Structure 1
């Protein structure tokens, strides 16, 4: 990335100097959340295990295929009987999928078999139906086959006792197909990190309510819950508190009783009604500024052994705080791949505040990235058009059009 002009006026502001760096704050968050990797194991239904982190190796309890079966709709025969074609053989019966106890194949005869049906004893190959002509009680084989053709032997897919899926695999539909095929009704997976969301503010109203002057809709609760679920977290509650200390204490107590981590939004800045900071500072909470824009005011508290991460209340600040500080470690705990980051050319020029790491909302266009909105932390509707965050380091104040910038996928 190229910068023009360095820091504003050649100096970094006192506020930026005293603020914790993005890296330091992220490390602090990771230190608090990483012990969740030692969470307990639970069994879940195989069909509901997609997206879960497997806790133990899973070995096949039986062979696949389980029995010798046909790979085609056709006729089970002895290869020696069809070595010279065309040849007409008497039809000794029909074997459907799921049918058991079929009599052996008589010498120089054929049995009609369906895909997946058991191969009768004595047969060693299957002639596909398109290579035959059936007439009454006989079938004419027009193309010979060698022993083993279109016969699925037991264990050729997996043998009983062989590793089927390794521990710490993120279960995907392809794994579920194999696990269900060997008859496993449940799988041992790590319990998901459980999170509670607690928003604050007298001005916030639920969707559908009629807004009075000074009120806005509460987007942070819904948005944080959606972000958590998208990153492998189980959301156990989404609650809202007025700017009332007693109500906040009561709702926080309920949240910490059921969650591994609590996320709050609002009430952490320097105003007169900062309920989150006022309550949690008395319980050892660390509140201060991180050298970042948006999302400077941040708080971390441990309440009854449960980490409480407190984000500022502006909607964009809340979402950027989650993306930058919480999303990486939560994805790691869930077994999800890291958030993709890469470098592209900037299609707009940018000015950035000295001493603060700025995360601008951007939209990928071709081989470059264009600003999707201004830097304002209230521009939540404009953020809907973004698909990346543009990461501007704190020492850069000017970025020219065409310069290379680092972006983080949203």
Structure 2
């Protein structure tokens, strides 16, 4: 049994990015950049007015004669001389000679003359060329996530498409004679297959869309054949159940029959000890425990970072937050324990049952607290949680 840290490092060391592809900007939302991008268009692209008003010379003494009008959208090449003003609108190019804009609310206009009370500073109410973004400035780095804001910046540079990393095609395979699909009537001893749906939802939340889902019984031949088919058509196979040492756990024997030796199996963590990771001809295989909380936790701490790296993300580790514990906590076990809980007003509190089968308690949680073996945390003590 190896440590959680060693397991994560070994998994991440085995991961390389998927292939690149070029996508239209809006199709790239949520993907990760495959190349650095530099600005070619300054923002703003020209000196312009921050608001509706009058463009003037800042040294003017509180009055000026209106000699023209500059709307947004067209450069009229107007010139503002001494003692003159140009009527101007938000976003309109600043006329030559003017270096400030006086707000229309601060102006009294009589015919072609305007007056204002307050003195002006050079640059007042003016957006200067390149103040936000200069030519040559880095606007996107390899591994940056394409957010709405970044797509907006790319559009401001005239881009219509962007090179991104293509997400992997993932197969979710659940195993177990006791599992049946939701919607069917339950018989004695049967349960609904919640893990298959939960894992698909976790993948979708991570931005992976090409997902297939299948199920096989605790049958060696069927498991071998199903794994063989999935590895031929997918980049990643995510297994739920069947990775432990029970008489009906067929995953390890099936992998062995296919000539696949696990890179690691059994990790010193609770829940999730029987976590498995293997590779086969560039394909990735993750074996998660069958208990839903164990499956969820091992996905968060091992699978998600690995898939983030495969998708090209620069930041692959989970988001961590320093808070305080709302209660006294103790781990009397011999493995680090990920407690499920809720964050409220900067404090973490354990939520519901902490057994590995407690799916409802998990559904109410929004954070994980890793408590070392034998460790005690006092109420009010600072702790670090995974969001």
The secondary structure found in structure 2 opposite 1:384 is helix
| Aligned partners of 2:323 and 2:346 also within 8 Å | no
Matches within 5 A, 1:2-401: 19-32=1-14, 34=15, 36-37=16-17, 39-78=18-57, 83-87=60-64, 89=65, 91-101=66-76, 104=79, 109-136=84-111, 138-143=112-117, 145=120, 148-230=123-205, 232=206, 234-243=208-217, 244-245=219-220, 247-249=222-224, 251-283=226-258, 284-286=260-262, 289-331=266-308, 334-336=313-315, 338-339=317-318, 340=320, 344-345=324-325, 347-348=327-328, 350=330, 352-353=332-333, 355-364=334-343, 369-394=348-373, 396=374, 399=376
Q: Which runs of 5+ in 2 are unaligned?
A: none
CA 1:101–1:342 in structure 2 vs 1: closer, same or farther (change >3 Å)? closer
Shift of 1:153: 3.9
| Aligned partners of 1:42 and 1:188 also within 8 Å | yes
Shift of 1:393: 3.5
The secondary structure found in structure 2 opposite 1:334 is coil
Shift of 1:382: 1.4
| Aligned partners of 1:78 and 1:122 also within 8 Å | yes
The secondary structure found in structure 1 opposite 2:364 is coil
CA 1:154–1:258 in structure 2 vs 1: closer, same or farther (change >3 Å)? farther
Shift of 1:29: 2.4
| Aligned partners of 1:76 and 1:120 also within 8 Å | yes
| Aligned partners of 1:77 and 1:110 also within 8 Å | yes
| Aligned partners of 2:239 and 2:288 also within 8 Å | yes
Question: How much is the aligned-residue C-alpha RMSD, in angstroms?
Answer: 3.5
Aligned-partner Cα distance in 1 for 2:322–2:102: 54
Larger mean CA deviation between 197-206 and 357-366 belongs to: 357-366
TM-score, normalising length: structure 1? 0.77
CA 1:329–1:343 in structure 2 vs 1: closer, same or farther (change >3 Å)? farther
Shift of 1:239: 0.7
CA 1:264–1:149 in structure 2 vs 1: closer, same or farther (change >3 Å)? same
Deviations 1:205-230 (A, max 9, x none): 33344333333222212222333344
CA 1:99–1:219 in structure 2 vs 1: closer, same or farther (change >3 Å)? same
CA 1:106–1:293 in structure 2 vs 1: closer, same or farther (change >3 Å)? closer
CA 1:133–1:387 in structure 2 vs 1: closer, same or farther (change >3 Å)? same
Aligned-partner Cα distance in 2 for 1:292–1:246: 31
| Aligned partners of 2:173 and 2:216 also within 8 Å | no
Q: Which runs of 5+ in 1 are unaligned?
A: 1-18
Which has the larger Rg?
1
CA 1:305–1:181 in structure 2 vs 1: closer, same or farther (change >3 Å)? closer
Aligned-partner Cα distance in 2 for 1:153–1:324: 47
Q: Which has the higher contact order (CA 8 A, sep 6+)?
A: 1
Aligned-partner Cα distance in 2 for 1:370–1:63: 48
| Aligned partners of 1:195 and 1:233 also within 8 Å | no
CA 1:112–1:323 in structure 2 vs 1: closer, same or farther (change >3 Å)? same
Shift of 1:176: 3.5
Aligned-partner Cα distance in 1 for 2:363–2:286: 24
The secondary structure found in structure 2 opposite 1:62 is coil
| Aligned partners of 1:294 and 1:375 also within 8 Å | no
The secondary structure found in structure 2 opposite 1:134 is strand
The secondary structure found in structure 2 opposite 1:352 is coil
